[in-house]
Amino acid sequence: MTDRGRLDIHDVDKSFYVDGAEVRALAGISLSVNAGEFVTIVGPSGCGKSTLLRLVAALDRADSGAVSFDGEPVTQPSLRRGVVFQDHRLFPWLNVEANVATGLLKANGTDAEKRATASRLIALVGLNGFEKAFPHQLSGGMAQRAAIARSLAAKPDILLLDEPLGALDSLTRGHMQTELLRVWQHEGTTMLMVTHDVSEAVYLSDRIVVMDRDPGRIREIVEVPFAKPRTRLDPAVAALTERIVDRLENTLA
């Protein structure tokens, strides 16, 4: 695992205004993610999960508190903090190879070296043979693989994943979870992922951040003690999933 990629969030608040009324999205959020960790955030809709990810990406600013990355304040977007959204956001006029290569625009190296890097990442996410395919020719899972490869092209120290598998059918989603875990193990990139799927969080994570809402705050941080790769039908894995689901249902109640 890399030594770079530590994230620290300290006492962060964030509010929005809707029709002149203040809505507190986040209150007193403090969280540290160690270099090389895979951490997921779960919670009910409206608890501020995606808002928190946007603050880490510097796509929005906190009202108070601090976000730092490797000890440096987060003040603007950076290629060191890659982002993958639920919508793949590939450029429709570019094929897979060219889309992945856009992540290398600011990288050093010759054109040949950049093509080699793009080819390696395309192979890493299992898209060999689809280099010349355009986004409309890909399935949803394949498009998300291309989006992950593009984000990895810039060699980020942390990858921020905002419900990246949420639009996929259950079979494709399960396969993509395994692929994402394989990419994480191969690249050693720190991962911070938002998901509504508790079983997904238990399958992938080192730790799970369970959030509450009104306002969004951290209710609990759960250590996942099982070695990877995990067996989804393992009774201990299923029991932990059920415990977290029960916590979330209590939150909604």
Per-residue tens of pLDDT for the chain, all 253 residues: 445 789 999 999 999 888 878 889 999 999 999 999 999 999 988 899 999 999 999 999 999 999 999 999 999 998 899 998 877 889 999 999 999 998 887 777 777 888 888 898 898 888 889 999 999 999 888 898 898 889 888 889 999 999 888 877 888 888 888 888 888 988 889 999 999 999 999 999 999 999 999 899 999 999 999 998 888 889 999 999 999 999 888 776 6
Residue 63 lies in a domain: yes
Q: Is 8 left (phi over 0), alpha (psi -120 to 50) or beta?
A: beta
Q: How many domains does the chain have?
A: 2
Beta carbons of 186 and 124 less than 8 angstroms apart: yes
Q: Which structural domain range is residue 215 located in?
A: 7-80+156-252
Beta strands in the chain (DSSP E): 7-18, 21-33, 38-42, 64-69, 72-73, 81-84, 158-162, 190-194, 207-212, 217-223
User: Do 129 and 173 fall within a single domain?
Assistant: no
Residue 2 lies in a domain: no
User: Do 131 and 145 fall within a single domain?
Assistant: yes
